[in-house]
Amino acid sequence: MSLRLASIAAFVAMAFATQGVMASSIPPPDPPTCSWCDGPPPPPLLVPTVAPTEVTPISIISVKLSPTHLQRGQVATLKIMAGAEDEVTTVVQYRDSKPKTYKTQIGDSRVVTKSWKIPSSASTGKAQIKVTVNGADGPYSTTISFEIVK
């Protein structure tokens, strides 16, 4: 029994010793051949893909005035949302008065808020604010009407 065990151990040791030599000297098998065609299938073809579509972001411009019915001495607030670094020109004109022009630039927050007190000299009636935003998307202009009631 021990002779048999010794011969098995010797066989296993020889198999492990020659495995590295044999593995490097044995070439890989030939690819299988097909009996009804000319051989192995061709390698896969590379299919070109279309580059992803790039969408340019559009600045959303919003202009709001609150309140729209004001009394002299009351505070009006104008909120403008536009692209960062856009230039804003605001022209405020009360009835029977010269227009006043204000210029500012939108910051990184993309919002600028201006508040002011309606002057005691403002005439009652319709007034308007014209806001022009000059940015990367081109100029945008809107006019907001408001009313001085007292």
Look at the block and give the residue holding tokens 């002011």: 116
Residues constituting the chain: 150
Using one digit for the tens of pLDDT, what is the confidence trace for 52-72? 888 776 667 899 999 999 999
Closest C-alpha to 87, from 67, 72, 61, 106: 106
Does residue 22 surpass a pLDDT of 60?
Answer: no
DSSP three-state, residue 92: strand
The beta strand positions in 37-110, using DSSP E, are: 62-66, 69-70, 75-81, 87-93, 100-105
Using one digit for the tens of pLDDT, what is the confidence trace for 65-117? 999 999 999 999 999 999 888 999 999 999 888 999 999 999 899 999 999 99
**Domains along the chain with CATH numbers:** 62-148 (2.60.40.1930)
Q: Is the pTM of this model over 0.85?
A: no
The beta strand positions in 15-67, using DSSP E, are: 62-66
Quick one: what percent of the chain has pLDDT higher than 70? 75
